[in-house]
Each structure stands twice: as structure tokens, then as C-alpha cells.
């Protein structure tokens, strides 16, 4: 009889329900404000004949703000598998967070009128986790389906593990 080492054993990988980053469409308000400021700066330059120094400072500030928002959004990564939600974020310093699905208590969708038009939304996950009691997932594509899938996965995992939720002190 041959010995099988631990390295030769197959590892079980939970199926991935969602993997991706927030949509850059969450930055639409920032881009709109940048556009309005650009129009205002252009108007000041042509109509009021303002000096270049007074025009250049707001333009640099707006470009830096738009770039920072773009980088903050592009460095967030979500992975949801059958057991956990993994979040990776950060520009200069990475932060990795995991939230067990069986700890999910409530999943709420917030969607402004412009997010509805763009097909994105903000998903807020409330949990019984002490480290991550609330997880906010910005710019989620197809948020209604994602919310329902996340709820179903959390309930299925609790049923599979035989976990029941008891809230003391809540009505």
C-alpha cells in the first residue's frame, strides 16, 4: 500500500460567485464636478482674462482629485466564494479583509437614480463579525441579482453548517 503525502491530496476550492472590482462609474459625480470646474475655469480665462497662475492651480487640483478617485476605485477587488467575502484594497498599503458568509445578517442595496441608469449600486453587508460588522461594496454591477445571490449563499451556508442566529438584546 502506497503512502499518499499531503501535497498530493487534491485541495477543495470553493466556487467563486463573484470576482471583480467596483465600476469606475461610481466616480461619475467627481467627473461631473471636474467638468463643471473646467468649464468655469475656461470661462474665467476667456471672459475675465484671469492670469495663468490663477487658472492653473484649480486645474491641477481637479486633475489630482480625479486621478486619486480613479486609483482608489481601481485598487479595490472583491471575491465572493461559497464561504467568504474577500476584499483587497489600498494604493500604497494593501489591506485584506475576509468576512465569513455564515456571519452575514443582512444585505441591503442602495441605488441612486444615476446609479440605476448606469446599472451599478452600493451593497451594504451587515454581519455578526466583530472586526467587520459592516462591509460597504461600492459600484457593484448588476446589484439586484448580486444582493439576492449573496443572501441565498449566506442562508445556504448556514443551513449546510447547521448554524442558527440568535440576537440577544435586539427586538
**Digit-coded pLDDT (tens) for 114-162:** 999 999 999 999 999 888 899 999 999 999 999 999 999 999 999 998 8
The whole-angstrom separation of Cα 28 and Cα 141 is: 15
pTM reported for the whole predicted model: 0.77
pLDDT higher than 50, residue 98:
yes
In a 13 Å sphere around the CA of 160, the CA atoms on its Cβ side amount to 10
Summarize pLDDT for 65-83 with one digit per residue, the tens.
889 999 999 999 999 998 9
More confident residue, 86 or 4: 86
pLDDT higher than 60, residue 99:
yes
The strands making up 120-127's β-sheet, listed across from edge to edge, are 104-110, 120-127, 134-141
Amino acid at each position: 500500500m502506497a503512502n499518499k503525502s499531503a501535497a498530493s491530496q487534491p485541495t477543495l476550492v470553493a466556487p467563486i460567485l463573484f470576482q471583480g472590482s467596483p465600476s469606475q462609474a461610481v466616480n461619475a459625480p467627481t467627473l461631473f464636478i471636474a467638468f463643471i470646474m473646467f468649464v468655469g475655469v475656461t470661462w474665467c480665462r476667456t471672459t475675465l482674462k484671469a492670469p495663468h497662475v490663477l487658472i492653473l492651480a484649480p486645474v491641477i487640483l481637479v486633475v489630482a482629485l480625479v486621478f486619486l478617485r480613479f486609483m482608489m476605485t481601481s485598487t479595490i477587488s472583491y471575491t465572493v466564494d461559497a464561504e467568504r467575502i474577500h476584499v483587497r484594497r489600498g494604493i500604497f498599503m494593501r489591506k485584506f479583509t475576509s468576512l465569513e458568509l455564515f456571519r452575514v445578517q443582512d444585505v441591503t442595496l442602495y441605488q441612486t437614480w444615476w446609479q440605476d441608469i448606469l446599472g451599478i449600486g452600493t451593497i451594504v453587508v451587515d454581519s455578526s463579525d466583530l472586526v467587520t460588522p459592516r462591509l460597504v461594496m461600492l459600484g457593484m454591477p448588476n446589484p439586484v441579482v448580486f444582493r439576492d445571490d449573496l443572501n441565498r449563499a449566506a442562508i445556504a451556508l448556514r443551513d449546510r453548517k447547521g448554524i442558527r442566529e440568535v440576537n440577544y438584546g435586539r427586538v
